[in-house]
A and B are shown apart, each in its own frame.
Chain A
Amino acid sequence: RKEVEQDPGPFNVPEGATVAFNCTYSNSASQSFFWYRQDCRKEPKLLMSVYSSGNEDGRFTAQLNRASQYISLLIRDSKLSDSATYLCVVNGGGGSYIPTFGRGTSLIVHP
Chain B
Amino acid sequence: DAGVTQSPTHLIKTRGQHVTLRCSPISGHKSVSWYQQVLGQGPQFIFQYYEKEERGRGNFPDRFSARQFPNYSSELNVNALLLGDSALYLCASSLVGIGNTEAFFGQGTRLTVV
**Interface residues in chain A, defined as those with a beta carbon under 8 Å from any beta carbon in chain B:** 4, 6, 8, 31-32, 34, 42-46, 49, 87, 91-92, 96-104
Contact = CB atoms under 8 A, between A and B. Distances in A.
Given A43-B106, A98-B56, A31 B42 contact: no
B16 interface: no
B76 interface: no
A43 B108 contact: yes
Interface residues of B, number: 24
Contacts of A44: 43, 90, 105
A103 B105 contact: no
Interface of B: 33, 35, 40-45, 48, 55-56, 58, 90, 97-100, 102-108
Contacts of A103: 40-42
Contacts, number: 56
Main SS at interface, chain B: loop
A87 B103 CA distance: 13
B85 to A, nearest CB: 18
